Every structure is written in structure tokens, then in C-alpha cells.
Structure 1
Amino acid sequence: MRENRLRTLWQADKAAVNGWLAVPSSFSAEVMAHQGWDTLTIDLQHGVIDYAQMVTLLQAISTTPTVPIVRVPWLEPGIIMKTLDAGAYGVICPMVSTREDAQRLVAYSHYAPQGTRSFGPVRALLYGGADYPVEANRTVVAFAMIETAQALDNIDAILGVEGLDAIYVGPSDLSLALGCKPVFDDVEPKVAEAIAHIVARARAHGVQAGIHNGRTDVALARIAKGYRFVTVASDARILAAGSQDILSAMRKGA
């Protein structure tokens, strides 16, 4: 089966630099993938990408060594299984707040006897290889998003679920849940404390921790604190920021 380079990085205690795909274009996904991101996450929860478009983005990413990941809309078995059948090598699931939520995520993303995933890896066989059915449970990565006050209270119970590979912190939703302004980077002290606590507990349980960031300096600081999967920017934000830089320079020059 094709290697999941995300797991290889983690085995060496290295951090993966993740890009975010919000634009429903296979060409823009292909351009992003060819820049050398360790992983690229297709966002089905927010934004404008649908399932059929997601498949074309997965195909574009597969022209490179970049690992394809999908954030699904919700903790729902159908979309998790279809996403994996399409060839995603990781699934990020939002709003996992309890041990039972985490157990369901593990079940939906693993074949029996570890889980309840239905068999039908139509494109996953093409991407992963003929031995996908045998190796999928050891290869695919399941991320539980930690972004609620309830999840923070239940963090040890969530991290103790067998088969849960990783967690992913959503700073904006976590900030809202803690009564603070929703931001990625310059979070309020209460949220910063929670972010530090989450990664400490994850490392204690041997579970990988990831987090969403808006700036490289913040992502690097969070790697230093133990996070091993850091999202830095989305295709949409890069497009907007690049355009703003060009226009600013031109208008100043004019």
C-alpha cells in the first residue's frame, strides 16, 4: 500500500506542514500540491467544495507525494466512509466533544473488527494499492477536532480512545466556546492556556496533536510546544494576500 508520509513524519517526531484547500478547482489543488506541502486538507465543512469536486482535488493531489486529507462536514458515517473510499489518507472530524464521539469516529473510519466501516474502497484501491483492504486500518489517520468547552473538559477521555490517531485544535471555535474573540493566532490568555494543556495531554497519551494557524511564526511556536501537524494557510487566503501585496505595491508606486 502507498505510504502515508504523515505517519512517517510522526514516527520521526517531525511536524507536518499542512495546507488548506477551500477553492473548488482541481488545477489550484494541483498547483498547491506541487509546492511541496507535506499534507493538503480539502475542507468540506466550510467553504464551497462539494463531494464530486473533492474527488477531482484528490486526483490532483495524487500527482505528487503530498498526503491528501479531508475535513468532513460532521460526525456522520456516510460522508466519512465515502471520503475514505475516494482515497483520503486522513479524515478531520469537527466538534468531537465526548469519548463517545471519538469512539464513533474511530468506528466509522476503520474496517472490522476495529470498526464498522463498510467495504467499498472504489478509488482508494487505485490510490492506495491492491492491498488497501488489509492495510487501511494501519494507514489512514483519524483526527478528532477539539474545539468546544465540553471537549476540553473531556480531553483525557477522548485521548484515551483506542484507535484515535490524532486531534486537531480549532482555535476560533475553541475561543468562542470559552467566551473569547474567534481568532487563529493572537488568542486570549484563557485560550492560549487551553491550547497548551491540550498538546500536553495529547503527548502524555501518545496521540498526535494538530492545530490551525494563520501565521508562520505562530505555527513554528506551536511546533516548539509539541504540535506535530500545523496548518498555515489556505489557497483562498494565499490568493487574496498575494493580490493585496501586488495591488498595494502598484498603488503606492502610482
Structure 2
Amino acid sequence: MRQNKLKKLLKSNNTVACGWLHIPNSWSAEVMANAGWDCVAVDMQHGLQSIETAIQMMQGISTTETVPLARANWNSPGEIMRLLDGGAYGIICPMINNKEECESFVGACKYPPLGYRSFGPTRARVYAGMDYGDYANDEILTFAMVETVQALENINEICSVEGLYGIFIGSGDLKLSIKATTKNDTTGFFDQAIDTVLKECQQRNLVAGIWCATIEDAKKMIEKGFKFIALKSDSMMLTEYAKEQTVALKNIFTN
């Protein structure tokens, strides 16, 4: 089976950079994968792609050395298994709030006896090798997303689930949940929350990941000890750069 290079990097205590794909297009996915990310995640939750488009995007990613990941739309075993059968080498699962939900997620990613994933790696065997079924349980990464106050309260039990590889903090939803719960400014509470998650991950030898909106935020999270950093998304980068270039061009017109 093709080695999961992302797992190898993380095992060596490297910090990895993850691109985030919202645009439903194999060409833009291929361009992003060629940009030097360690991995790119096809976002089925807030991205605009269908399962068919997601698989085409993973085909584009596969022309590079970048590792293909996917964020599932929800903790839905059927979709999770299809993304894995389509060639995703890791799943990021949203809104994991307790141990039972985490067990269901991890179980969907693992073949028996470690889980209940159904066998039928249609494209995965083409991408990874015909012995995929023998080694997939070792190579596929599982990241549970912590995005709510409830998840924070259950973080110890969530992190205790066998087969879980890491925790990925959904910054936007976590801030929203904290604000809805406390009715106060989220900054201090959010900082406390991510420190709690990071400490739990470090104690249990799990990878701690987080989504960042800016390079400045990413730098702070790396300094804290996060090892898996997702930055912006392809659509955010395109929007920002397009605006920057448009302003620069129109400034020439007026000078």
C-alpha cells in the first residue's frame, strides 16, 4: 500500500500545512496540490462539491505528492466510507461532541475488527495499491472536529477513543458556540478552550490541528504546539488575491 506521507511527517514531530478546497473543480484542486502543501482537504461540509466532484478532485490531487484528505459533510458512515473508497487518506469529521459520536466516526474509517467499514475500496486500490485492505487501518488518518462547548466538556472521553489519530479544532464554530453559551466576548474563552484541547492531545499522543484564517493566527498556533495547520481555503485565497490585483491595476489607471 502507498505510504501515507502525512502520517510519516507527523510521526517525526513535523508541523504540516494543509490546503483547504471549497471550489468544486479538479483543475483548481490540482493547482492547489501543486502549491507545496503537505496535504489538501476536500471540504464536503462547506465546500460546493458533490461526491462525484470530490473524487475527480482527488484524481487531480493524485498527480502530485500531496496527500488527499476529506472533511465529511457530517458524521455519516455512508459518506465517510465513500470518501475513503474514493481515495481519501484521512477523514476530518465535523461536530464530534461525545465519545459515542467519536466511536461511530472512527469505526466507519476502520475495517473489522477495529471498526465496521464495509469493504469495497473501488478507487482506493488504484491510488494506494491492491493490498489496500491489508494496511488501510494503519495508514488512514482520523481527525475528530471539536467545535462546541459540549465537545470541550467531553474532550477527555473523546480523546480516549481507540483508533482516533487527532483532534481538529473548527475555530469558527467553536467561537460561535462559546459566544452563544457565555454571551460574552469569545477571545479569552477561546484561548482557554484551545489550550485545553492541545494539552489533552499532548497527554494522549494525539495530533492537534486547527483551522486558521491568517498567517498571523497560524504562527500563534504553531508556537503553542499545534502540528496540523489548515490555512484559509482556495476560494478565500482567490478572492483576496483577485481583489488585491484588481486594486493594484486600477491604481495604475488613476495615477
Scaled by the length of structure 2, the TM-score of the pair is: 0.95
The CA deviation at 1:218 is 1.3
The CA deviation at 1:176 is 1.0
Two-structure CA RMSD over aligned residues (Å): 1.4
Separation in structure 1 between the aligned mates of residue 232 and residue 12 of structure 2, nearest angstrom: 24
The CA deviation at 1:58 is 0.3
Alignment of 1:219-230 (within 5 A): 219-230=218-229
Separation in structure 1 between the aligned mates of residue 107 and residue 60 of structure 2, nearest angstrom: 28
The equivalent residue for 1:212 is 211
The CA deviation at 1:180 is 6.3
Secondary structure at the aligned position of 1:118 is classed as: coil
Secondary structure at the aligned position of 2:69 is classed as: strand
The equivalent residue for 1:194 is 193
The CA deviation at 1:131 is 1.2
The equivalent residue for 1:170 is 170
The equivalent residue for 2:100 is 100
Residue 48 in 1 paired to residue 48 in 2? Answer: yes
Q: Which amino acid aligns with 2:70?
A: V
CA contact (8 A) 2:21 2:47 kept: no
Secondary structure at the aligned position of 1:68 is classed as: strand
Moved more, 195-204 or 84-93: 195-204
The CA deviation at 1:251 is 2.3
Secondary structure at the aligned position of 1:52 is classed as: helix
The equivalent residue for 2:34 is 34
Separation in structure 1 between the aligned mates of residue 47 and residue 81 of structure 2, nearest angstrom: 21
Separation in structure 2 between the aligned mates of residue 30 and residue 171 of structure 1, nearest angstrom: 26
The equivalent residue for 1:20 is 20
CA contact (8 A) 1:26 1:60 kept: yes
The equivalent residue for 1:234 is 233
Secondary structure at the aligned position of 2:179 is classed as: coil
CA contact (8 A) 1:200 1:226 kept: no
Alignment of 1:140-155 (within 5 A): 140-155=140-155
The equivalent residue for 1:81 is 81
Percent of aligned positions with the same letter in both sequences? Answer: 40
Secondary structure at the aligned position of 1:179 is classed as: helix
Q: What per-residue deviation string (whole Å, max 9, x for no partner) do you get for residues 6-51 of structure 1?
A: 1111111011100000001101111111111100000101131110
Separation in structure 2 between the aligned mates of residue 158 and residue 194 of structure 1, nearest angstrom: 15
Separation in structure 2 between the aligned mates of residue 180 and residue 63 of structure 1, nearest angstrom: 43
Scaled by the length of structure 1, the TM-score of the pair is: 0.96
CA contact (8 A) 2:174 2:190 kept: yes
The equivalent residue for 1:65 is 65
Residue 14 to residue 180, structure 1, CA distance change in 2 (3 Å): farther
Q: What per-residue deviation string (whole Å, max 9, x for no partner) do you get for residues 71-109 of structure 1?
A: 011111100101100000000100000011111111110
CA contact (8 A) 2:178 2:186 kept: no
